[in-house]
Structure 1
Amino acid sequence: MTKDLSGSWLKIIAMLSMTIDHVAYYYGCSNPYLYELMRTVGRIAFPTFAFLLAEGFVYSRNRQKYMLSLFAFALLSEIPWLLLNHDGSHNVLFTLLAGLLGLYAIENLKQHWAIAVSVTLLGLVTLLVDTDYSWKGYGLVLIFYMFRGRPDIQTLFGIPLMYEYGIIGIMMAFSVIWLYNGERGFIRGKAMKYAFYAFYPLHLMLIYWLR
């Protein structure tokens, strides 16, 4: 299989699929077939973001800053999230942040019991707080990290974990991830990095304003 997609292209694909999914979810569609197609395409987004998060953790030169940046944008994203959703849930950046904290625990804690307790507690937090994708999304981040460089094992564990979100869309997501060539791509520099983070709250706010 030819691997032609850089990390930058994975980001673009994930952002586009997320936008398509949210347009269908928040605006609806009179054509049920088109609606299901849009939601299926939207399932590409989260696994791709989770994969990129695990990759970013490995290459990050300042992991504390990485976590603080994600935390700041998670807080910012709560404003449009709560305006759009009235079910007590919280935005997906908190799920990704929990994943990042889990990876940090795995790398930095010395005792196995401490790692197990920390990783389990973080998963419980995503469940109890009701973050988007919850403990399954959190677990997927851990899978991408623990089996890094083994897309076959990532797929073997990842697809059953995310099965409830739609098998076709999840298989599409893993197909995209398999095309990753290990290169960073054209999205470079602080401005582009923060623009990527900002897209999430900005597109949610735009959806809210246009409803």
Structure 2
Amino acid sequence: MTKDLSGSWLKIIAMLSMTIDHVAYYYGCSNPYLYELMRTVGRIAFPTFAFLLAEGFVYSRNRQKYMLSLFAFALVSEIPWLLLNHDGSHNVLFTLLAGLLGLYAIENLKQHWAIAVSVALLGLVTLLVDTDYSWKGYGLVLIFYMFRGRPDIQTLFGIPLMYEYGIIGIMMAFSVIWLYNGERGFIRGKAMKYAFYAFYPLHLMLIYWLR
């Protein structure tokens, strides 16, 4: 299989997929087939973001700053998220942040019991706080990290974990991830990096304003 997609292209695909999904979810669609198609395409987004997060953790030169940046954008994103959702849930950036904290625990704690307890507690927090994709999304980040470089094993564990979100869409997501060529791509520099982060709260706010 030819691997033609850089990390930058994965980001663009994930952002487009997420936007399509949110347009369908928040605006609805009179055509049920089109609605289901849009939601299915939308399932590409989260696994791709989770994969990119694990890759970013490996290559990050300042992991504390990486986590603080994600935490800051998670807080900002709560404003449009709570305006759009009234079910007590919290935005997906908190799920991804929990994933980062889990990876940090795996790499930095010395005792196996401490790693196990930390990883389990973080998963429990995502469940109790009800972050988007909850403990399954958190677990997917760990899978991408622990089996890095083994897309076959990532797929073997990842698809069963996420199947409830739509098996076709999840399979599409892993198909996209399999095309990753290991290169960073054209999205470089601080401005582009933070623009990528900012897209999430900005597109949610735009959806809210236009409803």
TM-score by length of 2: 1.00
Counterparts of 1:198 and 1:163, CA distance in 2? 29
Q: Could you list the runs of 5+ residues in structure 1 that have no partner in the other structure? A: none
CA-to-aligned-CA distance 1:77-117 (integer Å, 9 cap, x gap): 00000000000000000000000000000000000000000
| Residue number in structure 1 paired with 2:145 | 145
- The aligned residue for residue 37 of structure 2 is 37
Distance 2:164 2:32 in 1: 19
Structure 2: tracts of 5 or more residues without a match: none
Identity of aligned residues (%): 99
Name 1:9's counterpart in structure 2.
Answer: 9
Q: 1:126: how far off?
A: 0.1
Q: Deviations over 1:30-75 (max 9, x none)?
A: 0000000000000000000000000000000000000000000000
- Give the secondary structure class of the aligned counterpart of 1:88: coil
Q: State the alpha-carbon separation in 1 of the partners of residues 11 and 107 from structure 2.
A: 25
Number of residue-to-residue matches in the alignment: 211
Aligned to 1:23: 23
Distance apart, 1:2 and its partner CA: 0.1
Q: Return structure 1 stretches of 4+ with deviation > 2 angstroms.
A: none
The offset of 1:179, in angstroms, is: 0.0
TM-score by structure 1 length? 1.00
